[in-house]
Amino acid sequence: MINLYQGIQSGEIDGARVREYLVREGTHLLDRGEVHYYFIRERFNERASPLDFLFLSRACFNGMMRFNKKGGFNVPFYRKSERFRQALVNKIVNQVEWARRAIAGKDWTFVAQDWRDTLAQSRTGDMVYCDPPYVGRHTDYYNSFDDNESDDLARSLIAGSADFALSNWLENKYRRNEYVDRWFAKHPQRTISHFYHVGPSEDLRNEMTEVVILSEGAAAPAEPEPEKRPAYLPLFEAAEAFDI
């Protein structure tokens, strides 16, 4: 992902090149099916091409991002060889062009590094967004991001001088995430509910409430309630109300 943004920033990757790549590889996918998908996956694991990464992210099962203990991308094929229709290619190209315009002229640096190093570099006036592996779920990440490290992240965010936003899960119909209540009960929070669609069967696809936890400085001020004014009935309605 970092290579992708660096490529967009340098001009090596733009909408035209992405379109050419996706049309070509999408045609091969349509002809060869999953054989071509696994060819691209193997090539990506050898060369880490950002364009191959883009292809895999849209052709893999449910758009999942998952890597094995050796760091290899291991998500299976989505079973839809016609995946890269013109509408999807146009959408991806538009997204790349939007990113290119947003990055242009900015003194931004894209790096892959330990989160501790990133927070150590943050200062007052900075805004830090963290989207770590969710606590208490899917704990088999190859880099062993566990509950202890989640606690370390919470301590560092709270103690730091930069503003922050932190994503996590809040609750589902079975349980609530005590990590959020334990560390961030007094912090501003914004929630959204949606269904996960990665379960192999319908009964495993349940509603989940996710939360973005904010530092005080990152939270937008609450909108004031609209001023309550006396309601005036239209002339004839008022006459009927009072039997005039």
Q: Is 57 within 8 Å of 63 (Cβ atoms)?
A: yes
pLDDT, mean of residues 119-131 = 96
CATH 1.10.1020.10 intervals, the chain: 2-103
The model's pTM: 0.74
Handedness of CA 144, 150, 151, 156 (dihedral sign): positive
Q: Please answer whether residues 158 and 183 qualify as being in contact, where contact means their C-beta atoms are separated by less than 8 angstroms.
A: yes
Per DSSP, the three-state class of 172 is strand
Residue 43's pLDDT is: 98
List, in sequence order, the alpha helices (H) in 122-172. 147-159
The per-residue pLDDT for range 5-55, each reduced to its tens digit, is 999 999 999 999 999 999 999 999 999 999 999 999 999 999 999 999 999
Residue, of 197 and 60, whose pLDDT is higher: 60
Q: For all residues of the chain together, what is the average pLDDT?
A: 87
CATH of domain 2-103: 1.10.1020.10
Q: How far is CA 34 from the centre of its chain?
A: 26
Collapsing DSSP to helix, strand or coil, 107 comes out as coil
Q: What is the pLDDT of residues 194-232, one digit of tens each?
A: 776 555 555 556 788 999 999 999 987 766 666 666 555
223 vs 103: which has the higher pLDDT: 103
Place of tokens 């929630």: 191
Q: For the chain, what percentages of helix, strand and coil (3-state, to nearest 5) are there?
A: 45, 15, 40
**Contact status, residue 162 vs residue 126, Cβ threshold 8 Å:** yes
pLDDT band, very low/low/confident/very high, at 119 (cuts 50, 70, 90): very high
Domain with CATH 3.40.50.150 in the chain: 115-214
Mean pLDDT of 145-156: 93
C-alpha span between 158 and 50 (Å, rounded): 34
Architecture of 115-214 per CATH? 3-Layer(aba) Sandwich (3.40)
**Res 244: pLDDT:** 42
pLDDT tens-digit readout, 26-37? 999 999 999 999
Backbone angles phi, psi at 29, to 5 degrees: -65, -40
**pLDDT higher than 90, residue 165:** yes
Check if the beta carbon of residue 96 is closer than 8 Å to that of residue 18: yes
Average pLDDT of span 78-95: 92
Q: Side-chain half-sphere of 129: how many Cα atoms within 13 Å?
A: 5
